[in-house]
Structure 1
């Protein structure tokens, strides 16, 4: 079945929003020294998709991830998970909010020791209920309203407004106008949207940056040595611990490396590693 012009016009607006948002996120990434990953080819992964796995082995496709210590060749530690969504009608907004929550919340739990920022950048028409649903789960929201998007397109002479009564002929005209735009015209639309949504964007970016502004207060590293002692019952385990001589010297190998990073805002990042190299790599991402 051929793609409808109405669907194609919706994709044009959605792609425009993605480009607009990526520029803002890249500015934050540069400023904080993070790597911004988004859907494209990257040597650190096998496909164009940005996909992260939760603790249950479920994979989640994401729009943007800011990584601490990430490079083109190696994936870093997640500092922010961000999803975007463009919707024209309120009837789709609740489902999209649930979809975003379903993708990011399991990852937030999995990487809770890293305290990742959770963001949802929504454009178009979303109900207050769908927004509050995400906010109640700890998401920071940037909401670019439908009227603002229409006004931004109007700045270069395109009537971007549409509804269920808009004809395919009207959509063809909108698409034809878009295809004739120069890079300067598209930049003008972005600047207009940036200006009209100036307060919302500024508040979101400030909150985004502030989530990384905490300062390390102390770092505690504990290296645990010992030999695993398998036992069949709880009673045997109790007896073993009761009889264990805590002051005895030992040549037992290191079992794991526990690291606590405490911040001046009360946050604590707790990480456990089985190998020395992993612990060192983790610490170096904060250096």
Structure 2
């Protein structure tokens, strides 16, 4: 079945927004030494998809992840999960934000010890209720207005507006105009959006930067030594603890390495590792 011109036009708008967002986020990642992952080939994975697993064993396909210590060959630690969406009609906005929640909230819980930034960059038309729903779940939101997208296209002579009654022939005409644009024309459209949404974009980026520009105030390391004691009942456990000598010397092996990183903004990252190698690997990602 041939793809409709209306659907293709929606894809063109969505892809342009995606490019604009990726270029903006890449600048931030480069400035702060993070790896920005998005859908493309990467040596560390088989698929082009950016897919992360939650603690329940479920995989979630994502738009953008900023990683501390990530490279083409190594999966880093997530410092930011950011989803994007383009929607023309408000009737679709609630379903989309629920989809974003379903992908990111389980990952936020899985990596809660890293306190990753949760962001949603939305373009087009979304209801205030949908935006409020995301904010109530801890998301930071950047919303690019549909009207400003239209103004940006008008700067190169294209009327990008449409609704449910727009005929296919009109969409075909818009696509023909788009295909004739030069690389400079497309760059101008992006520049117009950035200019019209400058305040909102800067506000979102500043919030993102603040989330990982915090400084470490204190690092607490606790090495847990001991031998596990298995007992049959709660009363046996109480009796064992009561009779345990807190001051007795022990040659028991290290069981866990518990690390707590405190930041000057009040954030706390708590992590626990079974062996020394993993604990050191974790700490080195902050150097």
User: C-alpha displacement at 1:242, in angstroms?
Assistant: 1.6
User: C-alpha displacement at 1:231, in angstroms?
Assistant: 2.0
Question: What is the aligned partner in structure 2 of residue 106 from structure 1?
Answer: 106
**1:45 & 1:223 partners in 2: Cα distance?**
34
Within 5 Å, give how 1:1-287 maps onto structure 2: 1-287=1-287
**2:244 & 2:48 partners in 1: Cα distance?**
53
User: C-alpha displacement at 1:238, in angstroms?
Assistant: 1.5
Contiguous gaps of at least 5 residues in structure 2: none
**2:100 & 2:225 partners in 1: Cα distance?**
42
**1:5 & 1:189 partners in 2: Cα distance?**
21
Moved more, 224-233 or 161-170: 224-233
**2:247 & 2:272 partners in 1: Cα distance?**
24
Contiguous gaps of at least 5 residues in structure 1: none
SS at match of 2:245: coil
User: C-alpha displacement at 1:220, in angstroms?
Assistant: 0.8
**2:73 & 2:241 partners in 1: Cα distance?**
46
CA deviations on 1:71-123 (whole Å, 9 max, x unpaired) are: 11011111000000000000000111111111111111111111110100000
SS at match of 2:255: strand
CA deviations on 1:111-152 (whole Å, 9 max, x unpaired) are: 111111010000000011111111111111000010111111
User: C-alpha displacement at 1:183, in angstroms?
Assistant: 1.1
User: C-alpha displacement at 1:10, in angstroms?
Assistant: 0.4
CA deviations on 1:169-212 (whole Å, 9 max, x unpaired) are: 11111111111211111100000111111111111111111111
User: C-alpha displacement at 1:232, in angstroms?
Assistant: 2.1
SS at match of 1:220: strand
**1:26 & 1:235 partners in 2: Cα distance?**
58
For normalisation by structure 1, the TM-score amounts to 0.98
**2:134 & 2:200 partners in 1: Cα distance?**
17
**1:50 & 1:239 partners in 2: Cα distance?**
51
SS at match of 2:98: helix
For normalisation by structure 2, the TM-score amounts to 0.98
SS at match of 1:211: helix
SS at match of 2:213: coil
**1:237 & 1:4 partners in 2: Cα distance?**
69
**1:241 & 1:197 partners in 2: Cα distance?**
62
**2:206 & 2:35 partners in 1: Cα distance?**
19
- Alignment length, in residue pairs? 287
User: C-alpha displacement at 1:53, in angstroms?
Assistant: 1.3
**1:80 & 1:142 partners in 2: Cα distance?**
14
**1:111 & 1:151 partners in 2: Cα distance?**
40
